[in-house]
Amino acid sequence: MFKKIIHQLKSTKFFIPAEVSIAVILAGMSFLFFFAGLFLGKYPLWLKISSGVFVFFIIFILTIILIKIILHPIDKFIKKVSPIIEIEPGKEKEEKSEFKYEYFFNRLTRSLTQVEKEELFPNIICKSEIMRQILKQVATIASTDTTVLILGESGTGKELIAENIHTLSKRKNGPLIKVNCAALPKELIESELFGYEKGAFTGATSSKPGKFELAHKGTILLDEIGDLPLELQGKLLRVLEDKQVEKLGGKYPRPVDIRIIAATNKELKNMVQEGKFREDLYYRLSAFPLYLPPLRQRKEDIPLLAEYFLKQNFPQKKLSPKSLQVLNNYSWPGNVRELFNVLEQAALICPQEEILPEHLNISREQSPEQTSSLPFSNLDEHLQEIEKQLIVQALKEARGVQREAAKLLGIKERSLWHRVKKYALAPNKFK
């Protein structure tokens, strides 16, 4: 455990408020004033032979001495570990200007958080802050039986998150049943989910339990829930509300003890407005929504993911610095799944140990020759159009949240607000 903490101290930077130190100071002063009051109460002669200013001056000096005594072991420990804390290039002045106790405890706290993440989620590779926050939510919700709705583009790891919720839950010893609603034929999905009794239809020569029954005392993952036929959504709602299922051809419902996790890459809110998804079912499923960001919003995870995939599948291969740059510059519409596919193809066709950019089967950005052939016209109009497109794209990815969109664009929220007003954009349309 200690080795992991030291390793993280070398590579991770975290922040925690400095109020801890202020609390220590105030606590020390409170103790001193308390004991000074007791002393003066017992020996009132001091008040006669010395002025109140002198007494308070003595208390002030004693307070400083007490603070030094309290912080000395901490300061000593910081000096011992400071050589292993690497400061990012260009951040030297910033780090030196920070309150050193705050800076150290920030980094120590984040290192412990990373160790905890590795212990709880060993199969999830990430270091981005946005994914850390999601994993915190996963760890919190896993211990409950609350229904979870996992949202995100294809390839973002929705199934992996569902598996971790089950593993960390009190149902971990029970079954985890996965159902892909988009993969099942429409005419078979009801019998697969709810099961059937013997003679329920032609060919039903024996009784068969459905997926809900098989998930008893465990968890069921309804993947691609947006593809569930509208006529079956009402039956699913009854399962959520009553915890009972009724087989095809059955005479009475059967109780089931299950936790339901749903996942989709579709915009269920839009489907509700279009009448393709039941509103009551949507609100019942989204008791606790989890939105997984696309890979383009957490590009700091790309080197880790690439290293992990190659180490697991092609340990003799490695990426060249230019190849890693190409991966970082790509938008990854297929997310982590596409990244792994590209790396697998590259590793297979690359004859040498180091994978070069030409081995990566991804589309490149426009070359200088292509961009130089653009027609000349009003430069301001071109720049404004590009700026507007970037803002629209950021608002889409941030689901209309201007604060998140501003972070993606690398500008202040107020600056984005002025630009949104300038181009008459409506952020609510992107939610």
Q: Is the pLDDT of residue 26 over 50?
A: yes
**Looking at the structure, do residues 277 and 149 belong to the same domain, yes or no?**
yes
The answer to whether position 179 is within a domain reads yes
Name 157's Cβ contacts closer than 8 Å, sequence gap at least 6.
124, 292, 335, 336
Burial class (CB in 10 A: 0-12, 13-18, 19+), 8: buried
In which band, very low, low, confident or very high, does the pLDDT at 146 lie, cut at 50, 70 and 90? very high
Last residue of a domain, one of 119, 151, 167: 119
Last residue of a domain, one of 291, 315, 331: 291
Name the domain count of the chain.
4
The answer to whether position 18 is within a domain reads yes
Q: What is the pLDDT of residues 224-257, one digit of tens each?
A: 999 999 989 999 999 999 999 988 888 888 999 9
The answer to whether position 372 is within a domain reads no
**Looking at the structure, do residues 280 and 310 belong to the same domain, yes or no?**
no
In the three-class reduction of DSSP (H, G, I as helix; E, B as strand; rest coil), residue 377 is classed as coil
Summarize the chain as % helix, strand, coil (round to 5): 60, 10, 30
CATH number at residue 338: 1.10.8.60
What are the two backbone dihedrals, phi and then psi, of residue 260, each rounded to the nearest 5 degrees?
-105, 125
**Looking at the structure, do residues 267 and 327 belong to the same domain, yes or no?**
no
Q: pTM for this structure?
A: 0.61
Q: What is the Cα gyration radius of the chain?
A: 30
**Looking at the structure, do residues 78 and 91 belong to the same domain, yes or no?**
yes
Q: Which residue has the tokens 């004033």?
A: 33
**Looking at the structure, do residues 30 and 85 belong to the same domain, yes or no?**
yes
The answer to whether position 134 is within a domain reads no
The answer to whether position 136 is within a domain reads no
**Looking at the structure, do residues 205 and 317 belong to the same domain, yes or no?**
no
**Looking at the structure, do residues 346 and 400 belong to the same domain, yes or no?**
no
The answer to whether position 189 is within a domain reads yes
What sections of 121-229 are H helices per DSSP? 129-142, 158-167, 189-194, 211-214
**Looking at the structure, do residues 155 and 174 belong to the same domain, yes or no?**
yes
Q: What is the pLDDT of residues 345-373, one digit of tens each?
A: 999 999 999 999 999 988 654 333 334 44
CATH number at residue 409: 1.10.10.60
**Looking at the structure, do residues 192 and 258 belong to the same domain, yes or no?**
yes
Task: Provide the domain limits for residue 82.
Answer: 2-119
Last residue of a domain, one of 291, 312, 343: 291
Q: What is the pLDDT of residues 403-413, one digit of tens each?
A: 888 888 888 88
**Looking at the structure, do residues 32 and 60 belong to the same domain, yes or no?**
yes
The answer to whether position 76 is within a domain reads yes
**Looking at the structure, do residues 96 and 227 belong to the same domain, yes or no?**
no
**Looking at the structure, do residues 26 and 89 belong to the same domain, yes or no?**
yes
Residue 419: per-residue pLDDT: 83
The answer to whether position 39 is within a domain reads yes
